[in-house]
Amino acid sequence: MKTIRLTTSQALVKFLNQQYIHVDGNEFPFVEGIFTIFGHGNVLGVGQALEQDSGHLKVIQGKNEQGMAHAAVAYSKQKLRQRIYAVTTSVGPGSANLATAAGTALANNIPVLFLPGDTFATRQPDPVLQQIEQEYSIAVTTNDALKPVSRYWDRITRPEQLMSSLIRAFEVMTDPAKAGPATICLSQDVAGEAFDYDEKFFERRVHYLDRKAPVDRELKGAAELIKESRKPVILVGGGAKYSQAAEILKSLSEKHSIPLVETQAGKSTVEASFKNNLGGLGVTGTLSANKAAREADLIIGIGTRYTDFATSSKTAFNFENTKFLNINVSRMQAYKLDAFQVVADAKTALEQLAPMLEGYTSEFGGNIDELKQEWLTERDRLSKVSFTRENFNPEIKGHFSQEVLNEYADALNTELAQTKALITVNETIAPESNIIAAAGSLPGDLQRVWNPGSPNSYHLEYGYSCMGYEVSGALGVKLADPAREVYALVGDGSFLMLHSELITAIQYGHKINVVLFDNSGFGCISNLQMGNGMGSYLCEFRTQDNQILNIDYAKVAEGYGAKVYRVNTAEGLKEALEDAKKQRGSTLIEVKVLPKTMTDGYDSWWNVGVAEVSNKESIQKSHEMRQEQLKEARQY
Ligand SMILES: Cc1ncc(C[n+]2csc(CCOP(=O)(O)OP(=O)(O)O)c2C)c(N)n1
Ligand SMILES: O=C1C[C@@H](O)[C@H](O)[C@@H](O)C1=O
Ligand SMILES: [Mg+2]
């Protein structure tokens, strides 16, 4: 056996350089690079190995562990899970900061490699700086908190363990049915320890992202269900996008007159302009998609997790008459809603199903065009909402009085409605631009009114809906797709929570554009509380003496080195966007918008935990309404 003497970290970096992925006949390196924040827990191990020889890996210095990990998650998501960045952190708080991002990756089924530092395997200096010291077990460290948010988790306490551990991690990350975060914790002493590694371990390794085909039984059952149905609807989920199933989806939809509706992750698989695409389904869906889903007698769920937002907490369908056919690479997902299961790759399954559906046409007929037109008319109305100082009727009705709305207009010096601003952005940026969002009121508005101009240009993290993903994620999207402009659409609350990687983007010259919608508050949560009978309680950004905060976010970003714009009209927004296109460096456009001017629910319901007893009649009413809605909802 030929061996090579390397430290654990040197072996790790050498191995990362030899991992390839094979997709549809193309082969390329799977690990593009590594994000780093060094501390004593990783600088002398992984840091030393990268300084000595990082190979082809691009090494990027992050600013916040959660932020750089979110950038890595967004990179992988934008690359349709075919390529990753790894993330190295120090021990203790550095690794704890990964937990939020790991949850984001797991909920969204996104492969990413986390390499947090750990305590000493020898335990000689214990407790080391940043060791939590649990009384019940010396073996427990901060990194154990990453177990529930990792698809694969291991701790390296001997250099030779690295070999089996890495092979398992890469098997998990490159399996579409299991893809998610792999976490390998490196004991900080072991990271620098040497071992005679078998050279074979470092040979080029190819991971095959093969398309799993359905079996005959699955195909026959699926074809029968579709042919028996009168009004089938296809629900396009993230799995359809990752499988790149656009062409076959459009062809089936056109040929058999089957409307398409979308989840957040599925949006931009098929372009918005496709005639049978009725847009988002569920709580943040369009009225047209929600109507079609309620009429359906068969839902063909393609690569979807059926979250509460997509199913309107299991009220979006007529469960008495509706059957479900799920095509999913994951058996766990395919089993949902007692569906007929096809455990297979979306594109392959649909292509094999196509010839079995010859001659079939749904009964939707011209109704699809009517539904589509209905939504376009509504979108047009939303693009024209304009504020008035008297009798203004915002989209979110009955929460703020005219007096309070006027107060906001004065404090933020704006009369701009969020829906109008968003549609202005959609109509001004180049159609091939990527947009990214994650939390707040923007995801709902986007799923309804945003018309993606090109495939895979709508990047919504709505599995975890993690505030702070937007700006960090924009850096990941830019790294994944440098030729296109990327726009992070972010609320003021989300921006405040985390935007450290804006500095990383500026530092490395990866241009990102941040469009910051400032309504001075946690707007969507204000809607949620007031929509369920509460008052306005701690969701507005106000001082102790009740003054609305008017923060100069542009000044903050200017301080970092971004080109900034302050806008409060649609025309100003257009001008800023046009100028931002000409910039070589990162930009931030601060858009002051009025609260309560985001879109409302379109015939949808969200099951939330309303108080059963309270001192307010309005809350009791809301609870009663919830109990009524629950009677309509499917139980599981
Ligand atoms: C990390 C994290 N913490 C808390 C939440 C809960 N949450 C969802 S939206 C929201 C407020 C968002 O405010 P902002 O970004 O200003 O968007 P707006 O609703 O005002 O458009 C909060 C607190 C979350 N999604 N993520
Ligand atoms: O609690 C939430 C409410 C949603 O409206 C919002 O989009 C999401 O970010 C969230 O966490
Ligand atoms: Mg806000």
User: What value of ipTM does the predicted structure carry?
Assistant: 0.99
3-state secondary structure of 528: helix
For residue 502 and ligand 1, the question of a CB distance below 6 A is answered with no
Per-residue model confidence (pLDDT) at position 582: 98
CATH topology of domain 3-208: Rossmann fold (3.40.50)
465 lines ligand 1 (CB under 6 A): yes
Q: Of the residues 414, 524, 530, 598, which should be mutated to test ligand 1's pocket, given the most ligand atoms within 8 Å of the CB?
A: 524
Minimal-distance CA residue to ligand 2 atom 11: 465
Question: 102 in ligand 1 pocket by Cβ < 6 Å?
Answer: no
Q: Is 465 in the pocket of ligand 2 (CB under 6 A)?
A: yes
- pLDDT less than 70: residues of the chain: none
- Domain ranges for the chain, please list them: 3-208, 216-376, 383-592
What's the pLDDT at 229? 98
How many CB atoms are located within 10 Å of the residue 628 CB? 9
Amino acid residing at 8? T
Please state, in angstroms and rounded to a whole number, the distance separating the CA atoms of residues 555 and 509.
20
Q: Is 114 in the pocket of ligand 1 (CB under 6 A)?
A: no
Whether 521 lines ligand 1, by a CB cut-off of 6 Å, is yes
483 Cα: distance to centroid of ligand 1 (angstroms): 30
Q: Quick one: DSSP state of residue 122?
A: S
Fold agreement between 3-208 and 383-592: yes
- In this structure, which residue's CA is closest to atom 6 in ligand 2? 440
Residue 557: the pLDDT is 98
Atom of ligand 1 nearest to the CA of 519: 20
Query: Is the Cβ atom of 439 under 6 angstroms away from ligand 2?
Result: yes
**Distance (Å) from CA 524 to ligand 3 centroid:** 8
Q: Is 522 in the pocket of ligand 1 (CB under 6 A)?
A: yes
Question: For residue 514, what are its two tokens?
Answer: 């941040």
Neighbours of 370 (CB within 10 A): 12
- Cα 596 to ligand 1 centre (Å): 15
Burial group, residue 414, by CB count within 10 angstroms (0-12, 13-18, 19+) = buried
Nearest one of 358, 348, 352 to 245, comparing CA atoms: 348
Asked whether 440 lines ligand 2 (CB < 6 A), one says yes
Helical ranges in 383-460 per DSSP H:
402-411, 418-428, 442-449
Q: Which of the 8 DSSP states describes residue 238?
A: H
Residue 351 burial by Cβ neighbours in a 10 Å radius (0-12, 13-18, 19+): middle
Residue closest by Cα to atom 1 of ligand 2: 525
The long-range contacts involving 618-621, CB below 8 angstroms and separated by at least 24 positions, are: 618/533, 618/534, 619/532, 619/533, 619/534, 620/533, 621/533
Query: How many angstroms is it from 521 CA to the middle of ligand 3?
Result: 4
Q: Residue 61: what are its φ and ψ, rounded to 5°?
A: -85, 115
Q: Please give the CATH architecture assigned to the domain spanning 383-592.
A: 3-Layer(aba) Sandwich (3.40)
Strand 458-460 with 486-491, pairing: unpaired
| 443 Cβ below 6 A of ligand 2 | yes
Q: Is position 550 annotated in a ligand binding site?
A: no
524 lines ligand 2 (CB under 6 A): yes
Cα-to-centroid distance, 498 and ligand 1 (Å): 11
The atom of ligand 2 lying closest to the CA of 439 is: 9
Give the whole-angstrom CA distance, residue 163 versus residue 34.
Answer: 19
Nearest ligand by distance to the CA of 466: 1
Among all ligands shown, which has an atom nearest to the Cα of 307? 2
CA pair distance 624, 604, nearest whole angstrom: 17
Identify the residue whose C-alpha is closest to ligand 2 atom 7.
440
Nearest protein Cα to ligand 1, atom 23: 522
Closest ligand to C-alpha of residue 441 is 1
pLDDT digits (tens, 9 = 90+) for 205-224: 999 999 999 999 999 999 99
Q: Which residue, by CA, sits nearest to atom 13 of ligand 1?
A: 522
Among 309, 445, 465, 522, the mutation site with the greatest number of ligand 1 atoms within 8 A of its Cβ is: 522
User: Considering the domain 216-376 in this protein, what is its CATH number?
Assistant: 3.40.50.1220
Ligand 2 pocket: which of 312, 446, 522, 524 to mutate (most atoms <8 Å of CB)? Answer: 524
Ligand 1 midpoint to CA 467 (Å): 6
Neighbours of 118 (CB within 10 A): 27
Dihedral of alpha carbons 418, 424, 425, 427, sign: positive
Cβ atoms 50, 59 nearer than 8 A = yes
* 3-state DSSP of 84-131: EEEEEECCCHHHHCCHHHHHHHHHCCCCEEEEEEECCCCCCCCCCCCC
Nearest atom (ligand 1) to Cα of 527: 19
For residue 495, report the distance from its CA to the centre of ligand 3, in Å: 9
Token pair 């957040």: residue: 264
CA distances from 238 to 126, 223, 487 (A): 45, 22, 20
Cα 86 to ligand 2 centroid, rounded to whole Å? 28
CA nearest ligand 1 atom 21, residue: 441
> Which of 460, 467, 548 maximizes ligand 1 atoms within 8 Å of its Cβ, making it the mutation to test the pocket?
467
DSSP lists the bridge partners of residue 301 as 235, 326
Rounded CA-CA distance 194/125 in Å is 20
Atom of ligand 2 lying closest to residue 283 CA: 5
Of ligand 1's listed atoms, the one at least distance from the Cα of 595 is 20
What pLDDT score does 414 carry?
98
Residue 122 alpha carbon to ligand 2 centre in Å: 44
CB 289 within 8 A of CB 281: yes
> If residue 267 lies in a helix (H) or strand (E), which one and from where to where?
none
| Whole-number Cα distances in Å, 544 to 409, 492, 520 | 20, 19, 15
